[in-house]
Structure 1
């Protein structure tokens, strides 16, 4: 059984803070089943944008873990914000979560797969 998006995001934020990182909800979507996009900011100003992985990425028909794929890696915020705006027009239930954590913490918090 999959937990609600609201519970999953709350857990993600708590785990990021407990590891010494920073996390914030930039946009709140549907509490039960909204999709989540993750904005990861680096110390040098780079931005990575992660979106839910395609269903084909999962081994099971009903996975228990949320998986993400990297959509964008840019030097600044402008390109990422344009992509987020397009996605939110398409999906008004979308959550946007921002993380500022190191590589090891990110690997523990978010499961990333290649497209």
Structure 2
């Protein structure tokens, strides 16, 4: 098997997901969510000031993004970023990865301590 580099120059790739024929990920230190095609076409999707991490999609197609430093779950839809849930009362420190199930329930992890 031969490997091929599709993209380089990222700060810190995180939260990889395959969705609708593209590889999606967060560049948490670069503060941007990206999607890349199989041919290497890189598209910046949205900037998240407080560091994006986990990604997932609701059944209706809306993208959920974990915002690490402010401990929020954001929703990206039709080019607009909005707060979906404030997790700060439940997550003691930085939020990180996430999985969204088929019913649209989002499970978000956090570090549990100050890094």
- When Rg is computed on C-alpha atoms for both structures, the one with the higher figure is 2
Q: TM-score when scaled to structure 1?
A: 0.30
The structure with the greater share of residues assigned to strand is: 2
Bigger relative contact order (CA 8 A; separation at least 6): 1
Q: TM-score when scaled to structure 2?
A: 0.30
The structure with the greater share of residues assigned to helix is: 1
